[in-house]
Amino acid sequence: MSPNETADAHDVLRRLCVDIAREAGDFAHRSRVGLGPGARAAHDTKSSAVDPVTEFDRATEELVVERLLAERPDDSIVGEEGSNRTGTSDLTWHIDPIDGTVNFVYDLPLWCTSIGVVRDGRPVAGAVYAPVVGDMYSAAAGGGAFVGDAPIAVSGATDLATSLMATGFSYHVGSHREVQSARIARVLPRVRDIRRSGSAALDLAAVASGRVDGYFEEFINSWDVVAGVLLVVEAGGSITAFDGSELDVTAPAGVVTAAPALHQGLVALVRD
Choose the stretch contacting ligand LIP; rule: CB under 6 A; options: 9-17, 35-43, 216-224, 252-260. 216-224
Set 77, 98, 115, 152: catalytic member: 98
Instruction: Measure the CA–CA gap between 137 and 231, rounded to whole angstroms.
Output: 8
The smaller minimum CB distance to ligand LIP, of residues 12 and 133, is found at 133
Q: CA–CA separation, 54 vs 43, rounded Å?
A: 4
Active site residue 77: no
54 is catalytic: no
Name the catalytic one among 11, 57, 75, 96. 96
What secondary structure letter does DSSP report for 162? G
For position 81 contacting ligand LIP by CB under 6 A, the verdict is: no
Report how far residue 180's alpha carbon sits from residue 166's, in angstroms, rounded to the nearest whole number: 13
> Which residue among the candidates 224, 234, 239, 257 is catalytic per the annotation?
224
Packing angle, helices 222-234 and 200-208, rounded to 10: 0
Comparing CB distances to ligand LIP, the nearer of 79 and 168 is 168
Catalytic residue, from 57, 80, 81, 217: name it: 80
Kindly tell me which residue out of 83, 101, 222, 238 binds ligand LIP, with binding defined by CB under 6 A.
Answer: 101
Residue 10: CB atoms within 10 A of its CB come to: 21
By the rule CB under 6 A, 199 interacts with ligand LIP: yes
Residue type, 91: L
Q: Known catalytic residue: 193?
A: no
Asked if 168 is part of the footprint of ligand LIP (rule: CB under 6 A), the reply reads yes
Q: How many whole angstroms separate alpha carbon 219 and alpha carbon 217?
A: 7
Name the residue among 146, 118, 154 with its Cα closest to residue 266: 154
Per-residue burial over 240-268, b = 16 or more CB atoms within 10 Å of its CB, e = otherwise: bbbeeeebebbebebbbbbbebbbebbbe
Contact 221, 80 (CB under 8 A): yes
Size of the site for ligand LIP (CB under 6 A): 14
Among this protein's residues, is 81 annotated catalytic? Answer: no
From candidates 17, 224, 227, 266, binder to ligand LIP by CB under 6 A: 224
Q: Which of 217, 241, 247, 265 binds ligand LIP (CB under 6 A)?
A: 217
Name the minimum Å distance from CB 198 to ligand LIP.
6
The Cα 110–Cα 203 span in angstroms is 10
Q: Which residues bind ligand LIP (CB under 6 A)?
A: 80, 96, 99-101, 168-169, 171, 198-200, 217, 220, 224
Q: Which residues are catalytic?
A: 80, 96, 98-99, 101, 224
